Amino acid sequence: ANPVVTDPKSCGLPNLPAGAQPIPCCPPHIDSDNITDFVFPPKLPPRVRKPAHLLTPQEAADYKEAIRLMRALPEDDPRSFTQQAKIHCAYCHDSYVLPGSTAPPQVKVHFNWLFAPFHRWYLYFYERILGSLINKPDFALPFWNWDHPDGMYIPDIFNDRRSSLYDAKRNANHLPPVLIDLNWNKRVGDTSGDVDANLSKVYTNIAAVKAPDSFFGKSFTPAAAMGTLEGLHNTGHSWTGDPTDPNGEDMGSFYSAGRDPIFYCHHSNVDRLWKIWKDKFEGEDFTDDDYLNTSFLFYNENSELIRVKVKDCLDSSPLGYTYADVPIPWENAVP
Ligand code: C2O
């Protein structure tokens, strides 16, 4: 294996699933000679990511306003709502071709060990863009706390049709007060969620897992496989997306998932579970050079193109954010 290095010049049309409207997903007017290497942000009090169902009215208003402003940016602004969603499309539907005859031939950030670090970086930039749009350097992206009974439904802030956080393409049978079912399998029809079954599921996929390749997934080769963190997270996508759309859009398909603001809060919780796994369950990150030196490209809040490496995201505190310390009711939820 080799580290995956995203080359902006290699970006081409995505391989979208059948039924999806064809769209280009590469970033707008990339200047590939103008890429800056990532540097850590200045040390400030951390942004504290809180459960989406526990925001104060002011925090909810800030979040809605930031997304409203992001939606109002011109479509070809790399910080715009449309372009942010396209990042996921490009990295998940084979837009970036790898040099030489590598296998797999394109960058993929699912079903392998790149899942956790890619999405951590993605949220890092997204959160900072939102904070800069509302001029709040301590703005923090909330998390969808579906590992706690009070968070096991689509949080209220996402359900107001007039709000910037609303997305019409969600499963009409899964709106509150329907509990999420973390064991949901769309192939066997609809079931309603169960608190204890959900807690046991989180225990099984997080607390009970020891080896990094079981937790994060296997290395980026044709034999890659997803880990239990990604597996747990997949349900949030397929359960939320609209089954009457061809690919469960928006949340149910990679290219469209980022069009639902809840996507980023869902991933904020996934990112939090990675941190909890390390802090409380003795989880350990990979140390392979190929992993550590894998790099991705993102635009920052000043629309500069930044190259980041996996090794710089393994510890979230130098990235300037943390998570509110809320109860972990699944800690001992042995099935
Ligand atoms: Cu890149 Cu939740 O998926």
Q: Which atom number of ligand 1 is nearest to the Cα of residue 237?
A: 2
Are residues 58 and 64 in contact, defined by beta-carbon separation less than 8 angstroms?
no
What local confidence, expressed as pLDDT, does residue 44 receive?
A: 92
Q: Which two tokens stand for residue 265?
A: 């809060």
Give the contacts of 276 (CB within 8 A, at least 6 positions apart). 206, 328
CA of 52 to the centre of ligand 1 (A): 18
**108 close to ligand 1 (CB < 6 Angstrom):** no
| Residues noted as catalytic | 88, 110, 119, 233, 237, 254, 267
* Angle, helix 57-72 to helix 115-133, in steps of 10 degrees: 90
Q: How is residue 161 annotated by DSSP?
A: T
Give the contacts of 201 (CB within 8 A, at least 6 positions apart). 182, 183, 232
What local confidence, expressed as pLDDT, does residue 188 receive?
A: 66
Give the contacts of 72 (CB within 8 A, at least 6 positions apart). none
In this structure, is the dihedral angle defined by the CA atoms of residues 153, 157, 162 and 166, taken in order, positive or negative?
negative
Which residues make beta-bridge pairs with 307?
37, 297
Are residues 140 and 54 in contact, defined by beta-carbon separation less than 8 angstroms?
no
**233 close to ligand 1 (CB < 6 Angstrom):** yes
Q: Which atom number of ligand 1 is nearest to the Cα of residue 267?
A: 2
Global pTM value = 0.97
Q: 196 — phi, psi (to 5°)?
A: -65, -40
What local confidence, expressed as pLDDT, does residue 23 receive?
A: 92
Distance CA 322, CA 320 (A): 7
Distance CA 220, CA 161 (A): 40
**129 close to ligand 1 (CB < 6 Angstrom):** no
Give the contacts of 36 (CB within 8 A, at least 6 positions apart). 304, 305, 306, 307
* CA-nearest residue, atom 3 of ligand 1: 254
**92 close to ligand 1 (CB < 6 Angstrom):** yes
Q: Which atom number of ligand 1 is nearest to the Cα of residue 92?
A: 1
Residues of the chain with confidence (pLDDT) below 70: 1, 101, 187-189
The verdict on ipTM greater than 0.95 is yes
Angle at 321 between CA 317 and CA 324, to 5 degrees: 105
CA of 265 to the centre of ligand 1 (A): 11
Q: Which two tokens stand for residue 74?
A: 């011109």
CA of 53 to the centre of ligand 1 (A): 21
Taking the domains of the chain in order of start, what are their residue ranges?
48-323
Give the contacts of 152 (CB within 8 A, at least 6 positions apart). 146, 179, 180, 193, 195, 198
- Tell me the DSSP string of 19-31: TSPP---SPTT--
**93 close to ligand 1 (CB < 6 Angstrom):** no
What local confidence, expressed as pLDDT, does residue 187 receive?
A: 64
What local confidence, expressed as pLDDT, does residue 228 receive?
A: 98
Please count the other Cβ atoms lying within 10 Å of the Cβ belonging to residue 267. 24
**272 close to ligand 1 (CB < 6 Angstrom):** no
CATH T-level topology, domain 48-323: di-copper center containing domain from catechol oxidase (1.10.1280)
What local confidence, expressed as pLDDT, does residue 1 receive?
A: 61
**174 close to ligand 1 (CB < 6 Angstrom):** no
